[in-house]
Amino acid sequence: MNPRLLALLLLFLPAAWASAAIAPTHPRLLLTPDGVTALRQNLGRAPLFDAALAEAKAQVDRALAAPLEVPVPRDAAGYTHERHKQNYTEMQLAGLLYQVTRDAKYARFVRDLLERYAQLYPTLGAHPAGRGQAPGRLFWQTLNEAVWLVHVSQAYDCIYDTLSPDERARYETALLRPMARFLSEERMQEFDRIHNHGTWAATAVGMIGYALGDEELVQKALLGSKRDGQAGYFRQMDELFSPDGYYCEGPYYARYALMPFILFAQVIENNDPGQQVFARRQQILRQAVYATLQQTSPQGAFLPFNDSLKDKDIRSDEVVLAVDVVYSRYGRDPRLLSIAQRQGSVFLGGPGLEVAQALAANPTPPAFPFASVEFKDGPDGRAGGVGLLRATPAADAALVLMKYSAFGMEHGHYDKLAVMYYDQGREIIPDYGAARFLNVDQKFGGRYLPENNSFAKQTIAHNTVTVDERSNYGGSFKTAEEAHAERVFFSAQDPAFQVMSALDRTAYPGVLMHRTVALVRDAKLPQPVVVDVFRLRASAAHRYDLPYYYAGQFLETNVALTPHVTSRPVLGAKHGYQHLWVAAEGQATGPVRFTWMNQQRYYTLTMAADATARVALVQVGANDPSFNLRNENAVLLRQDGRGDHVFAAVLEPHGHWDGVRERTYGGRPTIQEVRVLAASAEGTAVRITGPGGLEWTLLIAAAETVAGAHRLTVGGETFSWEGAVALRKR
Amino acid sequence: MNPRLLALLLLFLPAAWASAAIAPTHPRLLLTPDGVTALRQNLGRAPLFDAALAEAKAQVDRALAAPLEVPVPRDAAGYTHERHKQNYTEMQLAGLLYQVTRDAKYARFVRDLLERYAQLYPTLGAHPAGRGQAPGRLFWQTLNEAVWLVHVSQAYDCIYDTLSPDERARYETALLRPMARFLSEERMQEFDRIHNHGTWAATAVGMIGYALGDEELVQKALLGSKRDGQAGYFRQMDELFSPDGYYCEGPYYARYALMPFILFAQVIENNDPGQQVFARRQQILRQAVYATLQQTSPQGAFLPFNDSLKDKDIRSDEVVLAVDVVYSRYGRDPRLLSIAQRQGSVFLGGPGLEVAQALAANPTPPAFPFASVEFKDGPDGRAGGVGLLRATPAADAALVLMKYSAFGMEHGHYDKLAVMYYDQGREIIPDYGAARFLNVDQKFGGRYLPENNSFAKQTIAHNTVTVDERSNYGGSFKTAEEAHAERVFFSAQDPAFQVMSALDRTAYPGVLMHRTVALVRDAKLPQPVVVDVFRLRASAAHRYDLPYYYAGQFLETNVALTPHVTSRPVLGAKHGYQHLWVAAEGQATGPVRFTWMNQQRYYTLTMAADATARVALVQVGANDPSFNLRNENAVLLRQDGRGDHVFAAVLEPHGHWDGVRERTYGGRPTIQEVRVLAASAEGTAVRITGPGGLEWTLLIAAAETVAGAHRLTVGGETFSWEGAVALRKR
């Protein structure tokens, strides 16, 4: 959008959503008196908003009809945990409903619960199920306590005017200030962490600070416990996102972090517009929301690298809030409306009303621009990144992601240069994600499972190379956090040859890993294929293992495999290997072909190999006494005793299978062979062949010599190219 | 519907779809001259018909633009197989398009292919990939050859008038008559079988007979190769369906058999209305279609007992045809339109036009009456049956099926008294169905896999009791075919207590098996539960194994299990046991509780047991060298050294889990205990208890004493009831 037009639009934002001077009035957090008037005046005019309000009303009205319950905390995912979550949600909604309807019953409900919490809270010590460094009081971890206060401060703000001075004094003294003190002083380390937990804590303390008109709490929230800018909300904003808006933990936790970032930005803007929080860092909040949306699957799930649960998607409350606020604050991009439409819900506040009104006026908004895109990692954008190639913006088009970012904090995985691949709108080469059943009490209280550490985080759980059966950095979190991979090249200019290339020198000392992944279209092939070249360079000999996890039904391979049919060995002893059954194994005799089917399509991996390569079919699930893992399958290529080695493969989707109509075609792949022609100091050459004169040569400059002209001679043929990567088709 | 009203409606059927005297004109099979006129006059008026026609036109126009290919037959699921299928489909459609459009190019296309086939066919011997008793020539099995002729006879009929006498003579002499002779003479045994293969062959021969005006072929088709009524179409119709319309092979093959039954009925009615084929056996064709529709899952798949592929559903061409013809021939039941709507397509002929017109006029037809229903098996309805209980007609409601039919011919499974259960619209206690990847050449040429016999058909693959690790009838097909289970009782009158009860004395000599399955609603439970009581009576001691296969993620059990984490034993040596890995095993100490989750809901099996019961978690996949099996899971209860024994369980759906919104509740079951109070000559009493005074007693009369009054005294309590089953709630 034209920046002048944008400025103009911002000028005409309804006064309620634009800023106002710090008001002594309530509500003053997410709602303002003018904003409430606007909401009330527009009821019945924006169906999505009305529906969200009706849903909230139904939920709170059910709560009003039921007895209040404020149980003594006991569990981490059972009844008491869920009940306190339910209470804060219902209090926040009741506060909002009070403002919108002026029905005193909603204010009374919030007051009654505040009363009960004010009685309970002073009696609490450490939570009985508390774990880790930051146990809470009401909840097993401080994090949930901050989330509780983020909600309850809104409820308190909404009904503030209905309370007597005595009531206010009682709730503030027994509950709200002690909780702010607990978060910012007793849990100061957590509060000052540059981490989503810190963002939540700062937001909680800042919101209750604004609600109480307590400037000291606000300053702590904005600038850290020492009020010196070394921590706090602004520092979080500066450090946790890259200049592209990439969030350091990846998209699944970006979703979670966006909630406090966006909520508190709204509150700051309403109370302290001089901070210009939405303009900060070249509109980093806007960038962050667009980047998070880009990192979603065709189904709307967050691309599941690092600790990620695949059940979460863009319909989650956090993303609904983020999309609505970004729509409202940054020039009303109509393409965001298509996301709101898929969400089927809006945020209950001014921005949600705006989105609902816009959708009512424009029920067929333009599509969100899903595209091939690279995000750099690190506050300065110099810590690698993630690359994402999409064949087309269509939901069922191929999508391939490579991860070459920094580690990603506690939720990071040891998965340097891992890839994942989607097609037909589904995972085809999946990333396992996290081993956790969120909120399922029977599964370790809903927390991360032991197998998350012992398997899901380990290198062998990912579609990348494990060296010598050890995870990246030997599995050392401290080492991993200090390192990152490096981007080499990313180009999505040519729809027939999109390519990304990255390397890592840190995960395995003495081993240089350089992976190049291209999405190639060709008139000889009905679908775009992925070309994957993984070069390893080391002076010592190593064992290199490269698994491709595949979703679907294995059909055939040209390798003579010995299946383990009456007892299955385990692949190894540690670093995740102990969780892999060996279902079959064998020796390659030349290029390996491996075909499976996933619903309506066939997929073949054709992999360069010779008689020194071993092949195994492995299945997740060994050493899993509580059946916490999903039994996913992989084909694993193993190269032993090598210093330098190149894994090169083509992943080819082909054919069609229709079980209803009993029709099929194209069950065998077109690509016949993948061969490594050369791997020298100048670069790598990979030859891909098939019938009808299909002959491609992928040329990749060695990592040290990316820029400039390159020349490679192989068996009488000389190839010349400019830059990092080139594809020659005969 | 009122029969007089029906008669009236039939009177006013458009003349084209009602019968006409045998016409010397063409077309005369599925189309008639008047019918074609009606189709042409109504183009552009019925969107679903127009869409189906446009799709056919697009398909045939693509074929017209491509070179003709009539390859020498070679494979069973590869290129030549698929190509001949494609040819017959395109020929049939081109014939139809010629009639509708009068564009000569369509007639030429059919003629050119007839010419090629007339050259090829005389050169063919036995098919090189032919297997079994009835190899074909063009195809590996005679069956496909019959299907070819069913299609091509339609094509020939449609373009008959465009051919010169020479051309007709050539095609009839070289191709059509030899093929009819091959089917009815060389493959006489197959032709005269009371079996869907026989139905297809009779239909093929009868259709070409009508097309050529060859009364002898027609008589063979209707009355068998000897024209004596001992075989042929009418005998098939009398023997293959029960009076309820249940098809002896089950719903998956009912779908397949309905195609020739319905097609040929249309042809007979058009040419020989005096046969009154649609009225035959109290409108058995109507009954058969309604029965098949009832036996579908909420997703529209056929309930997968016997050899069934779960990819098939009501959208398949056969069911589209059947629904449209039944709609047209039997009083235009508007509830069939809701099925047509889900199919999204109509048959390209008069009945399809009628359905499309009706849907255009009535786009919100009433729902098909999915209900609890019992179907009896056997031509006289005395060979057991299947019972199907639905909690409500809603698609996401619980559905439980018990199978107590006859064996079901070659595609039958050794699964007497097996159950399957659906909820949330999905399989929760699944039946494995068939082990086959239809049309997937890499998987054994797309044929039934060896594991279909070695696992999928075996008793242990089903949710029923296996005695002494041997399948029903010791796995003897011949013995199985001569026997059947018996219905005891079926009642769906009381929505709070729907119940079915069946027994079998044949599968295991000396062992009486009696299973009673109820769907119970209760105000104390949010969802209906399944109560399952499986009583075994024998004088000798046996090993009784009862697995429940479950779909979803195991969460917890109260049994102390020893997991096999570094190597897994196999459960047994034969009868399917060799395909089950033992993932964990243990000893019960009292009632067994087993909880898993499936997407948004939790499920718990609470099973009566004491310290003599063993429990194992098993997984399908051992001894599967080609990875042909799906790795499904079961919890297995084993009772050793017993003559009399009662397995009693409650399957309880509970709670809710929402991963997007991070909400959950009800993760633990309400039912606390299931206990067998008594099992005597008078009957069985099972007690089910839970909190809040939940105490049910299920009373089941012994198999010998179903009728009349019963009385049972247990520990001072005396229960009296009338009839087969009663439920007492405290």
Supply φ then ψ for residue A266, to 5 degrees: -60, -45
- The fold of B1-41+240-370 is Glycosyltransferase (1.50.10)
Contact B657, B667 (CB under 8 A): yes
User: Quick one: DSSP state of residue A2?
Assistant: -
Which residues are CB-neighbours of B421 under 8 A, at least 6 positions away? Answer: B398, B399, B400, B401, B427, B428, B429, B530, B651
**What are A501's strand-pairing partners?**
A489, A516
Rounded CA-CA distance B708/B532 in Å is 23
What mean pLDDT is predicted for residues B271-283? 97
Chain B residues with CB-CB distance to A622 below 8 A: 565-566
Domain positions in chain A are 1-28+242-370, 42-239, 384-670
Binned at pLDDT 50, 70 and 90, residue B549 comes out as: very high
Return all residues near B164 (Cβ < 8 A) that are at least 6 apart.
none
- SS3 of residue B234 by DSSP: helix
Q: What is the pLDDT of residue B13?
A: 40
CB contact under 8 A, A665 and B570: no
Alpha-carbon torsion angle B182, B186, B192, B197, nearest 10: -60
Closest among A106, A117, A116, A100 to A27, alpha carbons compared:
A100
State the Cα–Cα distance between residues A728 and A422, nearest whole angstrom: 26
Rounded-to-integer distance, Cα B547 and Cα B637, Å: 6
Class of the CATH domain delimited by A1-28+242-370? mainly alpha
The CATH number of domain A384-670 is 2.70.98.70: yes
Residues pairing with A684 in the sheet: A679, A700
Is the Cβ–Cβ distance between B474 and B466 less than 8 Å?
no
What is the homologous superfamily of the domain A42-239 according to CATH? Answer: Chondroitin AC/alginate lyase (1.50.10.100)
B362 in Cβ contact with B334 (< 8 Å): yes
- Tell me the three state secondary structure of residue A580: strand
Element (H, E) at B637: strand B633-642
Q: What is the pLDDT of residue B89?
A: 96
The residue assigned the tokens 């100490």 is: B589
| Distance of alpha carbon B513 from alpha carbon B511, whole angstroms | 6
- Active-site positions of A? 253, 411
Two tokens, residue A308: 């990620």
CB-CB neighbors (< 8 A) of B619 in chain A: 631
**DSSP string of B345-379?**
---SSHHHHHHHHHHHH-SSPPPP----EEEE-ST
On the question of a common fold for A1-28+242-370 and A384-670, the answer reads no
| A-B contacts at Cβ under 8 angstroms | 123
Helices A104-120 and A79-101 sit at what angle, rounded to 10 degrees? 150
Looking at residue A33, its pLDDT comes to: 95
Across residues B104-118, what is the average pLDDT? Answer: 98
Report the DSSP pairing between strands A399-404 and A419-423: antiparallel
Question: Considering only B376-385, B439-448, B680-689, which range has the smallest mean pLDDT?
Answer: B439-448
Side by side, the strands of the sheet bearing B466-467 are B466-467, B542-550, B633-642, B613-620, B580-587, B561-563
> Which amino acid appears at position B393 of this protein?
P
Mean pLDDT of successive 10-residue stretches along chain A, which has 730 residues: 46 37 75 96 95 96 96 89 95 98 97 98 93 88 96 98 97 98 96 96 98 97 97 97 97 97 98 97 98 95 96 95 98 98 97 97 96 98 98 95 97 98 97 95 92 98 98 98 97 97 98 98 96 98 98 97 96 98 97 97 98 98 97 98 97 95 91 96 96 96 89 91 94
Interface probe for A, chosen from B627, B654, B657 (most Cβ of A below 10 Å), is B627
Helical H segments across B521-647, by residue range: none
- Dihedral (CA of A343, A347, A348, A353) sign: negative
Q: Is the bond preceding A27 in cis, omega lying within 30 degrees of 0?
A: yes
Q: How many CB atoms lie within 10 A of CB A12?
A: 8
> Would you tell me how many other CB atoms lie within 10 Å of the CB of residue A433?
26
What ipTM was estimated for this complex? 0.91
Does the annotation mark B411 as catalytic?
A: yes
How many residues belong to chain A?
730
CA distance B295 to A255: 44
User: Cα(A352)–Cα(A48) distance, rounded to whole angstroms?
Assistant: 9
Cβ distance B553 to A437 less than 8 Å, yes or no, reads yes
Question: What pLDDT does A23 receive?
Answer: 42
B649 has which bridge partners?
B532, B607
Q: What is the pLDDT of residues B298-330, one digit of tens each?
A: 889 999 999 999 999 999 999 999 999 999 999
For residue B24, the model assigns a pLDDT of 59
DSSP code for B365: P
For chain A, counts of helices (H) and of strands (E) = 19, 27
The identity of residue B690, as a single letter, is: G
Residue A597 to residue B440, Cβ atoms within 8 A: yes
DSSP, residue by residue, A95-134: HHHHHHH--HHHHHHHHHHHHHHHHHGGG--S-TT--SS-
Architecture per CATH, domain B375-667, reads as Distorted Sandwich (2.70)
CA distance B670 to chain A (A): 15
Burial of A424 (0-12, 13-18, 19+ CB in 10 A): middle
Kindly tell me if the per-residue pLDDT of B460 is higher than 90: yes
Q: For residue B669, is the peptide bond before it cis, meaning its omega torsion is within 30 degrees of 0?
A: no
* pLDDT band per the 50, 70, 90 thresholds, residue B77: confident
Yes or no, beta carbons of B311 and A627 under 8 Å apart: no
The answer to whether the CB atoms of B657 and A439 lie below 8 A apart is: yes
Mutate to test the interface with B, among A89, A256, A439, A444 (most CBs of B within 10 A): A439
| Token representation of residue B142 | 């005679």
What does the pLDDT read at residue A1? 44
Domain B45-236 belongs to what topology?
Glycosyltransferase (1.50.10)
Is A312 close to B660, i.e. CB distance below 8 A?
yes
Q: Which long-range contacts (CB under 8 A, 24 or more apart) does A3-10 make?
A: A5/A331, A6/A330, A6/A331, A9/A331, A9/A332, A10/A331
State the pLDDT at residue A2. Answer: 52
Q: How confident is the model at residue B703 (pLDDT cuts 50, 70, 90)?
A: confident
Question: Which candidate from A437, A563, A567 shows the least CB-CB separation from B625?
Answer: A563
Contact B534, B571 (CB under 8 A): no
Evaluate whether B141 touches B135 at the Cβ level (below 8 Å): yes
Residues 6+ apart with CB under 8 A from B549: B429, B430, B431, B432, B463, B632, B633, B634
Pairing of strands B542-550, B466-467: antiparallel
- Which chain B residue is nearest to residue A313, measuring alpha carbons? B660
Among candidate residues A312, A368, A319, the one with its CA nearest the CA of residue A347: A319
* Rounded Cα gap, residues B46 and B359, in angstroms: 8
Of A85, A437, A555, nearest to B443 by CB-CB distance is A555
Identify the pLDDT of residue B450.
97
